[in-house]
Amino acid sequence: MRILVDMDGVIADLDGEFLKRWQERHPDKPYVPFEKRTSFYVKDSYPEELKPFVVEIFREPTFFRDMLPMDGAKAALFEMDRMGLEVFICTSPLSTYRNCVLEKYEWVENFLGVGWTNRIILTKDKTLVRGDYLIDDKPEIIGVEVSPGWEHIIYDRPYNRGVNKRRVTWENWKDILRF
């Protein structure tokens, strides 16, 4: 069985890193608490005049490298591996990828180990990747393949609660995936 696992917001705490940097760099500007986010894309939760500051944070060096792991993610990935499942990190880089691509590899090496860098699949279109399940926080995965070979299981976040699909957290993944 092949499990594809998204990186940002699923195994790496993108929102925690963003909010930390926002408060450090823009303490005078309002921010949207994670629990109040209504959109998958962070910048879409902010008014037009603040969007450039959001984009600036995502593009700055070390943003992707410095994210902390999501609680329980490492243990879940290692357990899936011990169970004999094929686990791949299926992640989409930013279009302005200058720092993003390298730092995603550095993050995986730092938090999961160098061997896991061989399991990274970088793609702008996850529908082209073969697997049984895709665990992803994005509400809808759209691409070339209208019916990808995997089942999209939503990693539970405030901005995707309106999606009617099976939902998973790192606390309940075994029950949801039903191995």
The 10s digit of each residue's pLDDT in 124-151 is 999 999 999 999 999 999 999 999 999 9
Catalytic center residues = 6, 8
Please indicate, yes or no, whether residues 43 and 77 belong to a single structural domain of this protein.
Answer: no
Please indicate, yes or no, whether residues 7 and 77 belong to a single structural domain of this protein.
Answer: yes
pLDDT at residue 98, rounded to an integer: 85
**H-run or E-run covering 64:** helix 63-66
Split into its structural domains, the chain has a count of: 2
Query: What integer best gives the mean pLDDT of the chain?
Result: 96
Please indicate, yes or no, whether residues 6 and 52 belong to a single structural domain of this protein.
Answer: no
**Is residue 179 scored above 70 in pLDDT?**
no
Please indicate, yes or no, whether residues 107 and 26 belong to a single structural domain of this protein.
Answer: no
Contact 158, 34 (CB under 8 A): yes
Render pLDDT for 26-69 as a digit per residue (tens, 0 to 9): 999 999 999 999 999 999 999 999 999 999 999 999 999 999 99
Query: Domain of 23?
Result: 14-65
Residues 6+ apart with CB under 8 A from 124: 92, 93, 95
Question: How far is it, in rounded angstroms, from Cα 119 to Cα 96?
Answer: 23
pLDDT at residue 143, rounded to an integer: 96
Please indicate, yes or no, whether residues 71 and 148 belong to a single structural domain of this protein.
Answer: yes
Please indicate, yes or no, whether residues 40 and 77 belong to a single structural domain of this protein.
Answer: no
Residue 120 β-bridge partners: 89
Render pLDDT for 86-129 as a digit per residue (tens, 0 to 9): 999 999 998 888 899 999 999 999 999 999 999 999 999 999 99
Please indicate, yes or no, whether residues 84 and 159 belong to a single structural domain of this protein.
Answer: yes
**The amino acid at 114:** V
Please indicate, yes or no, whether residues 44 and 96 belong to a single structural domain of this protein.
Answer: no
pLDDT at residue 178, rounded to an integer: 76
DSSP 108-126: HHHHH-GGGGGGEEE-S-G
Which CATH number is 100's domain given? 3.40.50.1000
Render pLDDT for 102-112 as a digit per residue (tens, 0 to 9): 999 999 999 99
Please indicate, yes or no, whether residues 7 and 93 belong to a single structural domain of this protein.
Answer: yes
Please indicate, yes or no, whether residues 94 and 18 belong to a single structural domain of this protein.
Answer: no
* Beta strands 2-5; 133-136: pairing state: parallel
